[in-house]
Structure 1
Amino acid sequence: MPPPLILAALYATLISLGALALKLPISHHVPISWSDAIFTATSAVTVTGLVVFDIGTTLTWFGEFVVAFLIQLGGLGLMTFAVLVLAALGMPMGLTGQVYLREDLNHNSMDQLMKLVTTILKAVLICEVAGALLLSLTFVPRLGLLDGLWTAAFHSVSAFNNAGFSTFPDGLIGYAIDPLVNTVIPALFIIGGIGYVVLHDVLSGKSPRAWSLHTKIMLLGTAILIPWSMGAFAALEWNNPGTLGQYDSIPARLVVSWFQGVTTRTAGFNTTDIAAIHDSTTLLFISLMLIGGGPASTAGGIKVTTFVVMILATVAFFRRQTQLHAFGRSIGLDQVLKVMALTAISVIVVFCGVFLMTVSHDGHFVDIAFEVASAFGTVGLSRGFTGELNEFGRAVIVVIMFLGRVGPLTLGFFLATRTLPRVRYPESQVHLG
């Protein structure tokens, strides 16, 4: 079986088992349909965070544990397992695995990959335990010991895996200006979404000059996108009474802007009413959700490095440069072609998803576009439209969430498979633009 089929089968199997577990009487207080169970299991395994019912009031502790378990396996376990399986098969590991694990870090052997997996597991354990302990300082006084500890653990797992699931019916709106929530949860999903290749470089003790090109591009892109998204949200929503306008103090508005600025690209948590944002902010969020986080991470989207390389290639074209380079290193033509392929396929998937959704949900174009972008980027933000989906709409979103999570590895397999042409043809000119 080719690696893409193995990965798809693993994710599909986990989704099926998760839906079956959620249908058990022990998992819910009120009955849920198979459609509800499949949608929720897919959202958890793909670490998206879109929900069709309130997690906190519908599911029991066991049901919430099932969701957290699916989030953990979907965000980390299957990714790690995929690296091991594909390496054992001697097959290319796709865009994230092949390019960043083997070329940038020279992890060509099984032993090196095992060391990377060990580093990943250590990072998961340390971050999630520390996050749960810190969040319990806020949740335990309000919810009690047992409920507070479980809520802290659930949100820590959800945040580190960039899932966006919350046991609160309105997300984290009730904790919009809580200092711990606005520090710990963003720290968790930034660390989880920046990529383990970057963490390996940063924590290895090497000087910044010795970091890989991937790490430098990823950190540069993140350093630009976070202030931009925070500042743009603040500028667009400053006087909106449904979002920032309800806060009298400037620090409170900046805190809410900070959280929304960093959560939009992949995490899916919200501390303000997303349905109340302006259409201009909605378009801003759609662009950020499609960009996503870092490769070899729990984040979705086309990835920050893909976006940065696309910008660099565009600038190089207008400067009439024949070679693409950054930080004293060149970027090969094959990398640029991969970026073009990934971007083109992503645009096609999103366009097809929006088209199919408008066929069955006419009159909600902005909400549909936002929902599809959130599903493909495995973000989980919603303008309140998820609960209004009919069965066809749910099926479309389920497929898009699945493609958004499995698609990059599958595409990377085909992009990494090289074939040498047996015949070379004379060049000719095609008029473009």
Structure 2
Amino acid sequence: MFIDRTKVYVKGGDGGSGAASFLRQKYMPYGGPDGGDGGSGGSVIFEVDSGLRTLLDFKYQQHIKGSRGQHGQGKKRHGKNSPDLVVKVPPGTMVYRDETSELIADLIEPGQRAVIARGGRGGRGNTRFANATRKAPKFAEKGEPGEELTIILELKLLADVGLVGFPNAGKSTFLSRISAAKPKIASYPFTTLTPNLGEVHISSGRNFVVADIPGIIEGAHQGTGLGLKFLRHVERTRLLLFILDTAGTENREPLEDFNALQRELRLYSEKLSEKPQVVVANKIDLPQGQENIEKIRKNLPQGLRFFAVSAVTGEGIQELLFFLADELDRLEKEERETVSEEKLQDKERKIYRRRDEPEELSVIFDGEAYRVKGERIEKLVHMTDFNYEEGVERLQYIFSKIGLEERLKKEGIKEGDLVRIGPMEFNFTEEGF
């Protein structure tokens, strides 16, 4: 089964909690704090595996969670960090944040990795909070929660050449002729229901990958036929090869087919329609195909490379493949030069975020409670162990330092109103929370 788009929930492992412990040994009945820190949770990391070609695994694994870090213990024993969870994905996988459609990662090269959900850091033990004025802290931090998000995985197959053509134009036969790929071939429309990849070997060290994109018809950019489901796979190719049924075996005009394909690609993406293109007149082994070769050649846009071939007999195939290999070499050289120039420009205009830049804090009244939003303050509440009075006092002190009470009053909060921060609820009083 070919799956190229799916939704997955991902969560990094929570950090382990720190320990609130005191040294108790013979002759040292009142030793100082010795609680160890918790270990960090495991991050969820996606890694490209060149052996994969589909997102099928994620159809059955829609929840991915990193493991939790170990809790700290007495005698300053720190908890172990949890190992990261490495998840394999096929080349060409794009990861989007579901809520905002923000692109998180574009995974292309074999072995390339991206951290999708970071694990939480371990909570600090009470040893960390001891100082000159607080020599025996009786509290510790809970582990930081791991990052969690829902993502959309979208696969765009990586290929050097994309075969574009109407159903029954001979794309699958052409692919089986030039590579070891064995796509399903039959004489009815939409024989190919999934993209097929084939590797073409020209000579030692000169190989390229061809993708047979399932038949595109008029209205494909709006989802007609297989439509949008497979048009995305053409975006990754360096070069487009238009396969035309020169003999008109489906009672269609080859030139009309070409113009319709150009129109669909342009309506789907202007950038896609600007890719280098080559036109291949297929089925010249048929009498009608031979008659139409010159007519097609003369009516194509000027400067467009044209080849006449027969995918069945192999006529004209070798010349086409050598041209494609040379053209791909040229395009690759241009891409390397462009990428080098872009990297240089990025380095020159890189702006570093100031460490002292204040975090944005927002207060929203939802009709029931005042909800306080802010990554740092929400994590702080998550990591506070409310079983320890000193830990709660520390949290209240931080609230006053960041001006949370004044901010709430500015929003119109009154005595007894409910305040929500992360998973916790508080009742507001003039004396504080």
Q: Same fold (TM over 0.5)?
A: no
Structure number with bigger Rg: 2
User: Shorter-chain TM-score category?
Assistant: under 0.3
Relative to total residues, which structure has the larger strand share, 1 or 2? 2
Relative to total residues, which structure has the larger helix share, 1 or 2? 1
- Higher RCO (C-alpha under 8 Å, 6+ residues apart): 1
Give the TM-score, by structure 1 length.
0.22
